[in-house]
Structure formats: C-alpha cells, structure tokens
C-alpha cells in the first residue's frame, strides 16, 4: 500500500484515455494505409482490442509504454478462432459494430466478468440493421455474421456511448446512414474522431447522424490525451490530503467526461484547469488540485453519463465529506466490470462507513473515522483504485482483496499514487 500522506505534491501524468484508445485503434485498422498513434493506453483492455484486430488480419505494432503504435489498415479477414475480448466491454460492443459490416462470421467471447455483461443493447439495433447474430442469452459468447446492412434510426433506451458507437461503426463499415438519439448525451469520442477524419458525422437537436460517403477512411496520426477517469484517482488522493498541491498533467477534459470536476466543485473542491489545448479534436488541460474539506451533494441522473466510471471514487470521497451524498439513477453500475452499485456500498460498509443502494440510487453518509477493513474488489480495476485511495487517509487500514486488476486501465497506478506524496 502507498504510504499515508498528509501533504501531496509533485506531478503525475495519467495513462492514455481508454475510450479514445479503443476507437483510435479500430479506426486505424479500418483506414487505408499506415496510421501512427501516440499516447495510447497500454492497459490490458486496449491490448484486447489490438489482439482481436490482429486476429482479423490487421498489422499492429507492439503496444508499449511511450511507443508510437503503427497500424496498417486493411480489409478485415475471417478469424481462425474465437475473438477473446478479455475484460473489455468496449472491445466487445464496438467490435460488434465493426463486424456488422463484414461479410464473414466471427464469434466473440471474454472473461467471466465480460461474459456476464449485457450485449442485447447492441445486438438489437445491429440486428435491425440486418446483421445475423446468434446468441445464447443476453451476453457472450455470440456469433455475428455481417454483410449487407440497411440504415437505421435508433432511439437508445440507455445513455451508452458503447451502444451509440457500435451503431456508428456499423454505419461506417456497412456504408449505410444511421441516426441515434439517447436519453442523455454520452461521451462523444467516436463522433469527434469521425469528424477529425472528415467522415460524415452531424448532430442536430441531440440526434447523432452518420452519412456515408464514397471516400475511404484516410490514415491518420493522433495523440491520445490522458484519461480523466484515471486522473480522477490522483485528484481524489490530493483532495483527501491535508496540505500541498498536485499537478495532474495532460488530462482530456471533454465536457462529456468532466462531470467529476463539476461535482467536486459543488462538494467544495474546485480543481483548476490550466494550459488548455487541443489534441486530435479533444480538449486537454493540466489539473491543479489542492486538498479541501468536502460537503455532501446530490449527483443528478443527468450528470451520471458524464462521470459514470468515477462513481466508485466519488463515493469514496463522499464517505469523507460532511453530510450525505446521493447518486441518482445509477442502475447501470450493476452491469459494469462488477456489480459496482452493490459492491461500492458493501465495501464502504466493510471499512466502517455508512452506504447503501436503494433502488437505483446510491446513498453515502460522510464521516471522519479512519476507514478500516477488507475490501472485495471482485477483480474490478476501478474498485481496487478507489479503495486504494481511501486507504491513504490518516489512520486508515484498508486491505484490498487484490491489486492486479489496475492493469486493465492504469498499469502504473500504485507508482503514481506513491508519487503524489510530497517529499
Ligand atoms: C465507454 C463507455 C461507458 C464506460 C466505459 C467506456 C466507452 O460505458 O462505462 O468504461 O468507451 O464507450 P457505457 O457506454 O456502457 O455507459
């Protein structure tokens, strides 16, 4: 466990954005010619996307720290074996969209956690477009045979960037028009990358449309910004300290992802964004974070899509705040890498805090007793990281059931967490 810190200090740089990394690798695989990707996440999830695309005949150089990843796009070819998406929901769901436009059959599977996650939210609209999908239930494994698709207008019942992106990728590979509406705007990285590459993407009154054109996807060079979902853990560690300040460099601050900063400000911890710039159509900034006394808040249903992966760490912060916090309408957390809704509450209780899931809402009571107890991460990277941060507060004694899962999205997490302690 990283040492307890009263003062934070120094500079950390979170790894590349997971969502953007997946999309950039997929688009480079579909593009004509050689693309170069910089700043890509080297976590296991992105390696799953690369592995699956290599099985489909794409040439992708090794994904290593600080390496430029070179991808030579080509026509995808039928795989010789099942496509194993590992732990990655984004790989499975977005690849279903990519495969919907291919004239061959492919079977997708994944690890125990991924095989439990719902796929019908994506297979339903893809079937409406004409993809032939054989599924045993609402999950993996399943077999998709793409081919000639028809256009689709789809009103998604969930605000999910994975659903939206799968449909956009199907429109792209099947060369058919698609229009999607969603209850709340989910992260828009696919739309931004499409626009960056000059692909026909438009938004009108909240509806996202892709219109195919005769031009093929051009190869490209892109620099992936740091992941705000990973930065969130460093920000939280700094907020919980007693003094000092931490600079978190090179963080993507796309407004569909910055809900955590909005909520932190409301809780009494404003985070300064400095050195604002652009990387491949995405806004990027450095974050300057100072410790703060927190107060509880209500996180609304409309805010959830902008911070959906940050609920575990925000709940941890809420357990150290004055007063109570409620997260409205977070039922989606039940179908993430683990049942995060129940596990966040159960683990907070396991370390002595008050928390409970009531219907689709999550309630957390703030307090200042040192957290002590054993946390079951269920191999979920974001639970492991959120509770590792809690384990750093004064007097804490928090034992994690495992630490390896952090490699999914933040391989250097424990080193970075250690680095935030002021010397
Ligand atoms: C992601 C979208 C979100 C998020 C996941 C990554 C993406 O899932 O939780 O970690 O890259 O599109 P949903 O779209 O299912 O909400």
DSSP letter at 141?
S
* Dist. CA 243 → ligand 1 center (Å): 34
User: Residue ranges of the chain with pLDDT lower than 50?
Assistant: none
Specify the ligand 1 atom closest to the Cα of 22: 11
Residue 90 beta carbon below 6 angstroms from any ligand 1 atom = yes
Q: What is the pLDDT of residue 422?
A: 58
Specify the ligand 1 atom closest to the Cα of 163: 14
DSSP of 237-295, one letter per residue? HHHTSSEE-EEEEEEE--TTTTHHHHHHHHTT---EEEEEEEETTEEEEEEEE-----B
Token digits for 355? 């928390």
Q: What is the pLDDT of residue 215?
A: 83
CA angle centred on 20, ends 19 and 21, rounded to 5°: 90
Q: What is the pLDDT of residue 4?
A: 64
Whether this prediction's pTM lies above 0.95 is answered by yes
Residue 161 beta carbon below 6 angstroms from any ligand 1 atom = yes
* Dist. CA 304 → ligand 1 center (Å): 12
Residue 409 beta carbon below 6 angstroms from any ligand 1 atom = no
Residue 306 beta carbon below 6 angstroms from any ligand 1 atom = no
Ligand 1 mutation pick, 16, 18, 19, 158, max ligand atoms within 8 A of CB: 19
- In this structure, the residue with its CA closest to atom 11 of ligand 1 is 19
- In this structure, the residue with its CA closest to atom 15 of ligand 1 is 160
Ligand 1 mutation pick, 114, 117, 160, 301, max ligand atoms within 8 A of CB: 160
Strand extents, DSSP E, 100-200? 105-109, 132-135, 142-145, 152-155, 178-181
Q: What is the pLDDT of residue 6?
A: 82
- So which residues are the catalytic ones? 309
Q: What is the pLDDT of residue 334?
A: 98
* Dist. CA 9 → ligand 1 center (Å): 31
Q: What is the pLDDT of residue 214?
A: 79
């Amino acid at each position: 466990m990283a040492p307890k810190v009263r003062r934070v200090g120094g500079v950390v740089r979170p790894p590349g954005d997971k969502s953007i990394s997946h999309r950039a690798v997929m688009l480079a695989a579909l593009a004509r010619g050689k693309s170069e990707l910089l700043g890509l996440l080297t976590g296991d999830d992105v390696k799953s996307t690369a592995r699956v695309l290599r099985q489909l005949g794409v040439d992708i150089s090794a994904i290593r720290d600080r390496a430029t990843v070179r991808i030579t796009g080509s026509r995808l070819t039928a795989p010789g074996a099942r496509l194993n998406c590992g732990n990655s929901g984004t790989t499975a769901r977005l690849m279903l969209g990519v495969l919907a436009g291919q004239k061959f059959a492919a079977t997708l599977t994944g690890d125990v956690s991924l095989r439990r996650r719902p796929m019908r939210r994506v297979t339903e609209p893809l079937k409406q477009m004409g993809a032939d999908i054989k599924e045993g239930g609402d999950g993996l494994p399943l077999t998709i045979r793409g081919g000639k698709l028809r256009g689709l207008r789809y009103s998604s019942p969930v605000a999910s960037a994975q659903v939206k992106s799968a449909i956009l990728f199907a429109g792209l590979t099947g060369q058919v028009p698609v229009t999607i509406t969603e209850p709340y705007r989910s992260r828009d990285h696919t739309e931004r990358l499409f626009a960056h590459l000059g692909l026909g993407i438009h938004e009108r009154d909240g509806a996202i449309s892709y219109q195919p054109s005769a031009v093929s996807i051009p190869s490209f060079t892109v620099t992936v910004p740091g992941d705000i979902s990973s930065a969130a853990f460093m920000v939280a560690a700094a907020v919980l300290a007693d003094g000092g300040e931490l600079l978190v460099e090179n963080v993507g601050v796309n407004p569909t992802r910055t809900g955590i900063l909005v909520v932190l400000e409301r809780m009494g911890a404003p985070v300064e964004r400095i050195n604002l710039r652009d990387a491949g159509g995405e806004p990027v900034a450095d974050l300057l974070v100072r410790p703060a006394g927190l107060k509880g808040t209500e996180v609304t249903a409309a805010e959830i899509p902008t911070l959906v992966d940050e609920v575990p760490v925000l709940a941890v912060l809420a357990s150290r705040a004055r007063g109570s916090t409620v997260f409205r309408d977070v039922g989606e957390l039940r179908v993430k890498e683990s049942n995060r809704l129940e596990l966040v509450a159960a683990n907070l209780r396991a370390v002595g805090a008050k928390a409970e899931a009531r219907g689709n809402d999550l309630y957390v009571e703030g307090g200042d007793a040192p957290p002590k107890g054993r946390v079951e991460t269920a191999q979920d990277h974001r639970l492991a990281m959120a509770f590792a941060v809690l384990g750093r507060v004064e007097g804490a004694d928090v034992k994690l059931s495992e630490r390896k899962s952090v490699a999914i999205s933040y391989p250097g997490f424990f080193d970075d967490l250690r680095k935030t302690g002021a010397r």
